[in-house]
With several copies, the nearest count.
Chain A
Amino acid sequence: MLDKYQIAQRIAKEIKPGSYVNLGIGIPTLVANYIPQSWNVTLQSENGLLGMGPFPTENEVDPDLINAGKQTITMSVGASLFSSADSFAMIRGGHIDLTILGAMEVSENGDIANWKIPGKKVKGMGGAMDLVASAKHIIVAMQHVSKDGKSKLLEECTLPLTGIKCIQRIVTELAVLDVLPEGGFKLLEIAPGHTVEDVKNATEGKLIIPDNVLEIELD
């Protein structure tokens, strides 16, 4: 079973050199740690920065420089700053190559729920609905099953939706899967030490198992 760092590490392998990537809060933020400098990947932060660098040292901390998770950050070489309207114009216009975000549930037709749990504290969707409705390519980092053993890869989402028919790929502690355009989770890779049967048991939605399923490789 992959831990959250390994999920992030596996997702990093999906990133193309030279691409522009938006990383959501949580596991997606960790992905940055596994992108080699030499790939020239540019990270976008939807609060108005293209070219997000690592967290600052104590001396570098600048309250006027934060990411979408409200953490202090730095700028990478060649960064640019802009307004929230310009930032979402960039996102909505399809200029960001890849969006990586977390999810509470994903359905077999690519719907995603990741912003609200009825009865729990109201927080708001932030930029999540804009990101899922606009991104060219989305990868979700999520837990395959909840702590009480319920599958989060469902036939239909039970939680309030963030977006519909928008998720293409999912990386969980158990597997890498694609959501097929015609519906269904196609199993691509399994975590070391696990079987197709494990993934089957953990997936409530339609699971498609091709002949050749690889083992997840981490460098």
Chain B
Amino acid sequence: MSKVFQNSDLAIADVFESASIMLGGFGLCGIPESCIAALARHGVSQLTCISNNAGIDDFGIGILLKARQVKKMISSYVGENAEFERQLLSGELEVDLIPQGTLAERIRAGGAGIPAFYTPAGVGTEVAKGKEIREFNGKLYLLEYGLTADFAFVKAWKGDTMGNLIYKGTARNFNPMMATAGKITIAEVEELVPAGTLDPNEIHTPGVFVQRIFIADKNEKRIEHRTIQTESHAG
């Protein structure tokens, strides 16, 4: 009955062929590295991956793309991955591009039992195609639907044995909403502490949302654009 799993392989062992999976992270920041590596070892394919980005060629979701495990990506920005581009053009991969705020809100809605909501993003663009448009107070909005998935993989900084999570810095990003929207949410944490250690007032994701938790096998945290302050920096 414990939520604590010994490693990533055990935690994701029941991910099945054609499953839908949400993966936290923005760029390579706050991505569930250990779960992704385990999923590559696990080997199921035809996956639908819901993630703001698609990783780079040899890191993040790029690893799953290279192994041809992904059938469809639901993302807002996928521009940093050449293999992605190749599979998309060859028709091996489907992609559903969604405005970032709409994606975030759809996931939040999915976890919150809101089946649909209206948002202004995408009105008058190709994103609006086939969608209900409605006016509220003189402004146009699109109807968008809540989004859930079979699994959610999230990365947190600290977690406790009851599944409570605290994220760090901008590694929080999509992780908190995804934790609420997975039928089974699997959290990999840098530090796992006994329940009662974390301040209840500082918890970002209450344990009820997390079905499994384990200590991340790796925290490589690759940096996409290492940008350093130069001497000539103004202001």
Contact = CB atoms under 8 A, between A and B. Distances in A.
A73 B80 CA distance: 19
Given A80-B200, A93-B113, A54 B233 contact: yes
Nearest to B195: A78
Given A92-B120, A127-B99, A160 B173 contact: no
B35 interface: no
B16 to A, nearest CB: 21
A77 B161 CA distance: 11
B78 A84 contact: no
B112 A89 contact: yes
Of listed A33, A47, A122, residue having the most chain B CB within 10 A: A47
Contacts of A63: 28-29, 221-223
Interface in B67-110: 75-80, 85, 88, 95, 97, 99-102, 104-105, 107-108, 110
Contacts of B228: 55-58, 61, 72
Nearest to B230: A55
A215 interface: no
Q: For the complex, would chain B's binding face be called helix, strand, loop or mixed by DSSP majority?
A: loop
Given A20-B208, A40-B1, A83-B104, A161 B30 contact: no
Chain B interface residue bracket vs A: 35 or more
Contacts of B143: none
Nearest to A67: B170
Contacts of B99: 125-130
Nearest to A50: B206
Contact of B104 (A45, A85, A94, A111): A85
B180 A93 contact: yes
Interface in B166-194: 167-177, 180
A126 B77 contact: yes
B208 A72 contact: no
A213 interface: no
B60 to A, nearest CB: 12
Nearest to A62: B169
A163 B123 contact: yes
B226 A91 contact: no
Contact of B208 (A50, A70, A133): A50
A124 B29 contact: no
Nearest to A82: B206
Given A20-B208, A64-B171, A93-B113, A55 B120 contact: no
9 cross-chain pairs, A with B, having the tightest CB-CB distances, nearest first: A88-B101, A92-B113, A130-B101, A123-B79, A78-B195, A164-B124, A89-B112, A64-B169, A63-B221
Given A90-B112, A130-B101, 5 more contacts: A70-B80, A84-B104, A85-B105, A91-B101, A161-B124
21 contacts: A33-B235, A44-B208, A47-B170, A56-B229, A61-B223, A63-B223, A64-B168, A64-B169, A69-B225, A71-B224, A71-B225, A80-B207, A81-B201, A84-B100, A84-B173, A89-B111, A90-B206, A93-B112, A122-B88, A126-B100, A134-B120
Interface of A: 17-18, 20, 32-37, 40, 42, 44-51, 54-58, 61-73, 75, 77-85, 87-96, 111, 121-130, 133-134, 160-165
